[in-house]
């Protein structure tokens, strides 16, 4: 269920929630409860609305992923937000926890991905001319390491391809912690993967002011003491 603690931002046009791993943004074939419908009910009860409540899904996160998700409270806001997403004027920064460091402390990755619908998985292809190949671009940097041998990456996502971060990080040898689908050796106890939408930035669809919203990560301050310490950002595999 939706809780008030999940609300990161709200006005008359938008509401941004900090999605928990395991929650579904929009209804799917599982038939499990989804955030969009639960949010409608939450607003209806909280605000004592007599009629139907509008709740439009602006973008989605995979079920095992946590972080900021934007919903539109009016059809006008949804239309304008959809335009922002299509024009890529909707900036997203993710955090990922990995056990193996990438080849360099920071880097720019461009790949072409193809999606296998049956496996619900994306793959890097060397054939950029394939009709189903889509260009995927991201930047990453190592921002911290923990005493337990885990490493925190910050990822600027420039394109929004299916399982893009999961696929591209696995391709360079550092799958997201807990992501069995993309090569992690062990699952997380709660079934999540350690990938989190930590920050979103966009122009408000009505006021046109630039908005930046941060979502606290589920791993809290585990990396804070080592964050941005270059002596810990070595390329030794753990």
Indicate if the pLDDT at residue 153 is higher than 90.
yes
- Residue 224's pLDDT is 62
As a whole number of angstroms, the distance between CA 49 and CA 64 comes to: 32
Which stretches within the chain are classed as H helix?
Answer: 35-46, 75-86, 164-171
Domain boundaries, the chain: 4-226
As a whole number of angstroms, the distance between CA 26 and CA 37 comes to: 8
Distance linking the first and last C-alpha atoms of the chain: 37
* Range 4-226 has CATH code 3.30.2350.10: yes
- Residue 147's pLDDT is 81
Indicate if the pLDDT at residue 234 is higher than 90.
no
Nearest to 63 by CA among 34, 92, 91: 34
* Structure confidence by residue, pLDDT tens digits, 86-127: 888 899 999 999 999 999 999 999 999 999 999 999 999 999
User: What DSSP state is assigned to residue 191?
Assistant: S
- Residue 228's pLDDT is 46
- As annotated, the active-site residues are 62
- Residue 141's pLDDT is 96
* Structure confidence by residue, pLDDT tens digits, 2-11: 999 999 999 9
Residue 224 burial (CB count, 10 A): 11
* Structure confidence by residue, pLDDT tens digits, 180-189: 999 999 999 9
- Residue 148's pLDDT is 80
């Amino acid at each position: 269920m939706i809780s008030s603690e999940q609300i990161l931002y709200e006005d008359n046009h938008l509401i941004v929630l900090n999605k928990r791993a395991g929650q579904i943004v929009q209804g799917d074939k599982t038939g499990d409860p989804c955030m969009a419908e639960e949010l409608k009910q939450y607003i209806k009860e909280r605000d004592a609305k007599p009629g139907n409540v509008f709740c439009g899904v602006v973008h989605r996160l995979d079920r095992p992923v946590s972080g900021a998700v934007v919903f539109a409270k009016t059809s006008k806001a949804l239309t304008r937000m959809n335009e922002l997403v299509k024009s890529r004027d909707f900036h997203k920064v993710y955090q990922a926890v990995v056990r193996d460091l990438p080849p360099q402390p920071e880097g720019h990755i461009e790949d072409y991905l193809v999606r296998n619908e049956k496996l619900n998985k994306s793959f890097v292809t060397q054939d950029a001319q394939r009709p189903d190949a889509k260009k995927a671009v991201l930047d990453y940097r190592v921002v911290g390491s923990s005493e337990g041998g885990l490493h925190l990456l910050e990822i600027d996502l420039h394109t929004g391809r299916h399982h893009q971060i999961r696929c591209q990080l696995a391709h360079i040898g550092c799958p997201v912690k807990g992501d069995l689908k993309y090569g992690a050796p062990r699952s997380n106890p709660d079934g999540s993967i350690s990938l989190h939408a930590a920050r979103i930035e966009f122009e408000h669809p009505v006021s046109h002011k630039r908005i930046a919203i941060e979502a606290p990560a589920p791993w809290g301050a585990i990396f804070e003491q080592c964050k941005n310490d270059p002596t810990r950002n070595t390329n030794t595999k753990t």
